[in-house]
Amino acid sequence: MLSKASKIVISSLISLSPIFIGQANAESIEPVYTNGKISLPFSPAIKLNNGMLFLSGQIPYTKEGGIPDYAVDGVDDMADQTEIVMENLKKVLKTSGYSFNDVVKVSVFMSDIKNYNAFNDVYATYWGQDGLYPAREAIEVGALPGGEPSKEVLVEVSLIAFKEVN
């Protein structure tokens, strides 16, 4: 018997097949913006009319722009940056009508995998108490975009969510 998560993944792949074979149209794709259009060549999220939601990678920038000083002061920087990233993701999810409970896949990019445990400590607080976590990978990368020499971006997270369409 297939688990609920397996059924969601299979359903998602089947429902995405028109996009994979070129049948998507403007009515099936909706960009999601939390504060109006951005000046960069991507959307914070893309919502499909089949219930799929794809969130672009979020870095630890606040609405004021840039990484706050407390997140690069050398004290719990990964935890601080992870919290900012997760709150950014939460805002995009909420704007889209989704929540962390709808997330089925997470991609984590870290500048140093030694920060894995510090990331997990914060990340785990954003999921329900039922122990159902989305599929995930965590990848160490050489560098992440958006930082400056004194304000390095330590983590970027993107995700995919799914909701049944009535």
Q: What is the DSSP letter of 44?
A: S
The whole model's pTM is what?
A: 0.81
- Comparing CA positions, the residue from 158, 37, 154 lying closest to residue 93 is 158
Domain boundaries, the chain: 4-162
What is the pLDDT tens value at each position of the chain, 166 positions in all? Answer: 544 544 554 555 555 545 443 455 556 887 777 776 666 667 888 999 999 999 999 999 988 888 999 999 999 999 999 999 999 999 999 999 999 999 999 999 999 999 999 999 999 999 876 778 999 999 999 989 887 777 999 999 999 999 988 7
List the 135-140 sheet strands across, edge first: 29-32, 45-48, 52-58, 155-162, 103-110, 135-140
- Comparing CA positions, the residue from 93, 10, 13 lying closest to residue 45 is 93
At 2 the pLDDT is 46
**Which CATH number among 3.90.550.10, 3.40.1710.10, 3.30.1330.40, 3.10.180.10 corresponds to the domain 4-162?**
3.30.1330.40
